[in-house]
Amino acid sequence: MTTFQKAPLDMDAAERLRQTRAQHPDAIGSILAKRKRRELLRDDNRLFIVAADHPARGALGVGSNGMAMANRYDLLDRLALALSRPGVDGVLGTPDIIEDLALLGVLDDKIVVGSMNRGGLRGSTFEIDDRYTAYDVPSIVDSGLDFAKLLVRICHEDNATVRTLEETARAVTAAAGAQLPIMLEPFRSRWSDGVISNDLSTDAVIESIAIASGLGASSAYSWMKLPVVANMERVMEATTLPTLLLGGDPSGAPDDVYASWEHALALPGVHGLVVGRTLLYPHDNDVSAAVDTAAKLVHTR
């Protein structure tokens, strides 16, 4: 097994991070305000974003390891390493992750996506009640971030879905008013034996796109964040909105996963990848190699 190569989060950096949070919390806002920003899309019109919004919704597992993301210092190490690799355009996270990375000084010249998160925690009795519990549009703008992201789970059998749709519509309207790009990640979901699962059939994904695309008073700044499923050609025919592909929890052979991404990345309307656990916790633990492979798929066109 390849040894995980450490990024800049050594013991001294970790101690400075803790001390700054305890003694100088005002430094976070100052650092974000001074962050060097970049345009959203560059010459090749593509984006490769590393995702790390999983812990805030209690999703700490990767593959068979249910607590893989539990060590915050290890996670930050992996994120800092990923952000240092060529072709990585940015990061997606909740405020705690984004602010840690800002304090570590690794967000300059990166696209920073603020996750609005979801309140419906996995395994809870209120799981489908996905009211937003992290960033909102004003705080994303105030923090000088570049993009918003939210999840839209649509369950026809659960009355809580209507709250999710209403709050999502308000968020999309606010983002359009602030001229802030907002990434919508829709799923058709259902209860089965007390567990919520997402329907990844082609028709279900297309239905979720149609519903999510119509939310809010304007779709001018709306993007889609979609899973790679069968018949992606049909999926991408269902929307004119710019689209990024999500990675999900790693499963199957890495070469097969990369091949599916490569195929979907070639479709009209697809602008890149938003991937987290698959690349931060690869099978061989070689974060650099996994990130570099994905970066080449996104940017070599």
**pLDDT tens digit sequence for 254-274:** 889 999 999 999 999 999 999
Structure tokens at 266: 């070639």
Residue 272 lies in a domain: yes
Spatial CA neighbour of 88 closest among 116, 52, 58, 57: 52
pLDDT at 1 exceeding the cut of 50: no
| Domains held by the chain: number | 1
68-85 pLDDT, tens digit each: 899 999 999 999 999 999
135-158 pLDDT, tens digit each: 999 999 999 999 999 999 999 999
Q: Give burial (CB, 10 Å; 0-12/13-18/19+) of 10.
A: exposed
Domain that holds residue 202: 46-299
Half-sphere exposure of 192 (CA within 13 A, CB side): 5
Residue 110 lies in a domain: yes
pTM of the model: 0.93
Which residue type, as a one-letter code, is found at position 34?
Answer: K
Residue 25 lies in a domain: no
pLDDT band for 2, please (50, 70, 90 cuts).
very low
Structure tokens at 202: 């082609």
CA–CA–CA angle 267, 273, 274 (5° rounding): 145
Residue 156 lies in a domain: yes
Residue 22 lies in a domain: no
Measured in residues, the chain has a length of 301
pLDDT at 282 exceeding the cut of 70: yes
Residue 34 lies in a domain: no
pLDDT band for 5, please (50, 70, 90 cuts).
very low
State the Cα–Cα distance between residues 232 and 260, nearest whole angstrom.
Answer: 10
State the Cα–Cα distance between residues 206 and 62, nearest whole angstrom.
Answer: 27
211-248 pLDDT, tens digit each: 999 999 999 999 999 999 999 999 999 999 999 999 86
CATH assignment of the domain containing 195: 3.20.20.70
Residue 38 lies in a domain: no
State the Cα–Cα distance between residues 143 and 132, nearest whole angstrom.
Answer: 17
Residue 32 lies in a domain: no
